[in-house]
Structure 1
Amino acid sequence: MRGTAIGILTFFSMFLAAAGARSAERWAELPAFPSMPAAKTSGMAEVNDIKMYYAEYGEGDPILFIHGGLGNAEVWGHQVADFARDHRVIVADSRGHGRSTRSQQPFGYDLMTSDYVALLDYLKIDKVTLVGWSDGGIIGIDMAMKNPEKLTRVIAQAANVTTDGVKADVMNNKTFNDYINVAGDYYRKLSSTPNDDAFVKQISHMWETQPAWTAADLGKITVPVTLAIGDHDEAVKLDHTEMMAKDIPGAKLVILKDASHFAMLQDPAGYDAMIRDAMAGR
């Protein structure tokens, strides 16, 4: 009986240790989008051929945060709360995402980049630090190539510059699928066209064909660039990000520990520290 009891206790201890290990794997979980602070100003800017939702917080040197595909500005709640203490923070919903409208033009990174350039002009902002996640990071790199005069620096997390930089099995990943479901819930809540399947079809076509930049394209970038990727990113290949860091002159590569594609939610303190280090040139 004593041996049985010891065996049960040993098994129970092993079970607790395993459960503790699972709970420590923050990269495998998708935290809820945080609440956004009250905006200083917000509205719908008429840019290009759409109406683009934006919100501003705080005062100081401007930082523009750009969300990833299917998402919206709400993903940046932790970062807005931190950086609005000493910066003018701008967030927006990309074309067709969240509260922003879209037109009949096919989705493309150049077009989405031009929307953000037009938004900065609308807000009378000369230059920003651009923090972009996933599609937002791709837009940041595109802007660095096409509109460097608008940028102080780019901090791009989980971006790719060719379609083969994306993992083939990303759609089999539970955490990534959890994000798609959450993004869908937000879309139905925020969008003026909540039941429009054409949006997903059009942006999916963009992902299949874009971006398609060469090493020569990246080699022309003159803006300071920091490339960040979680060490457990579900979507973007690490060696692809390493290649980007080699091809972009002076680029710095940061590996975010115990984080995935959704690092800004999983480790907001570490994520914000990464941004501040990049802004300080560290």
Structure 2
Amino acid sequence: MKDRFTHSEGRHVEVGGARLWVEEIGRPDGPPVLLLPGGLGTINDFDALTPFLAPHARLIGLDSRGHGGSTLGGAPLSYARLASDVMAVCDALGLVGVTILGYSDGAITGLRLAAAGWPGLRRLATIGATWRLLPDDPVEGLLDGITPEVCQDKFPDSWAIYHAANPEPDFPRLIAEIRRLWLDPGTDGYPGESVREIRCPVLLMRGDGDPFATRAETVALADRIPGARLLNLAWAGHDLHEDAPEVVAGMLRRFLTDS
């Protein structure tokens, strides 16, 4: 049984002018869990976590539009478009009743789907989720330092996967679209107060040192979602699933079976 994504044994799904890379690992008869990575990352960002989940679930990894093995297409990047991509991929694969595990941008996408009441979603688990764009948001400082050269230096694995797996690599354009995505104040951007409409079970997880999904903002998010469960883990950061994969996997396994 495969317990890590390889970018070699999957398929592309054509959605809205893009080809999106989808790969499955884990237990074929297990509950379906769709893994959505963060900005400028790939499904391999879950490598520390998937060995603990693969024996218990059917894991479906989706590289976000423009990332990893997925092409960008011609339309502007937005969280609304990423959410539409998820729905289209699930339709193509015949997936229903999925649990989404979203990290960072993937978490924001999951929140939009949950707030919209997408019927294909059974449960939502997030890591490092933000839900609104605040004045002087810390993401603005992060954007100041993002260039192709900096990304190659800071994220060499994602950089290498992107250039090896992407059928139409254009990293400078991807960075420009990421800037648009992260700073979008409009209705196609962050879910904002629509999170109050979420009715599916939700598990919010963050590392206590996360500078982007702050403690106060994550608590505010949890307070807006009826019945949301919250994990705030000491001595961990934005990459909680890498800092404490066994803890995160244990919480997810319980979440999958929680009634």
Fold match (TM-score > 0.5) = yes
The size of the alignment, in residue pairs, is: 245
Match of 2:224 in 1: 247
Judging by fraction of residues, say which structure has more helix.
1
Aligned CA RMSD, in angstroms, stands at: 2.6
* CA distance 1:40–1:124, shift in 2 (3 Å): farther
Q: Return the alpha-carbon distance in structure 1 between the equivalents of residues 85 and 65 of structure 2.
A: 8
Q: Which runs of 4+ in 1 moved over 3 A?
A: 37-41, 168-173, 176-186, 193-196, 210-214
Maintained 8 Å contact 1:154/1:224:
yes
Q: Return the alpha-carbon distance in structure 2 between the equivalents of residues 193 and 108 of structure 1.
A: 19
TM-score by length of 2: 0.85
Instruction: Give the structure with higher Rg (CA).
Output: 1
- What secondary structure, in the 3-state scheme, does the structure 2 residue paired with 1:194 have? coil
> In the TM superposition, what is the alpha-carbon distance from 1:132 to its structure 2 partner?
0.3
Match of 1:53 in 2: 21
Equivalent of 1:267 in 237, 244, 247: 244
Q: Give the gaps of 5 or more residues in structure 1.
A: 1-34
Q: Return the alpha-carbon distance in structure 1 between the equivalents of residues 176 and 192 of structure 2.
A: 26
Maintained 8 Å contact 1:128/1:152:
yes
- What secondary structure, in the 3-state scheme, does the structure 1 residue paired with 2:74 have? coil
Is 1:108 matched up with 2:88? no
Maintained 8 Å contact 1:39/1:56:
no
Identity percentage over the alignment? 27
Q: Return the alpha-carbon distance in structure 2 between the equivalents of residues 232 and 38 of structure 1.
A: 30
Equivalent of 2:54 in 68, 79, 84: 84
- What secondary structure, in the 3-state scheme, does the structure 1 residue paired with 2:49 have? helix
> In the TM superposition, what is the alpha-carbon distance from 1:39 to its structure 2 partner?
8.6
Is 1:280 matched up with 2:218? no
* CA distance 1:48–1:127, shift in 2 (3 Å): farther
Is 1:129 matched up with 2:99? yes
Maintained 8 Å contact 1:232/1:261:
yes
> In the TM superposition, what is the alpha-carbon distance from 1:212 to its structure 2 partner?
3.9
- The aligned runs of 1:1-282 (5 Å cut-off) are 36=4, 42-57=10-25, 58-59=27-28, 60-164=30-134, 166-167=137-138, 169-170=141-142, 179-180=154-155, 182-210=157-185, 211-215=189-193, 217-281=194-258
With 155-164 and 40-49 compared, the bigger mean Cα shift is at 40-49
- What secondary structure, in the 3-state scheme, does the structure 2 residue paired with 1:162 have? coil
TM-score by length of 1: 0.78
> In the TM superposition, what is the alpha-carbon distance from 1:189 to its structure 2 partner?
3.2
Maintained 8 Å contact 2:69/2:166:
yes
Maintained 8 Å contact 1:97/1:187:
yes
Q: Return the alpha-carbon distance in structure 1 between the equivalents of residues 142 and 119 of structure 2.
A: 35
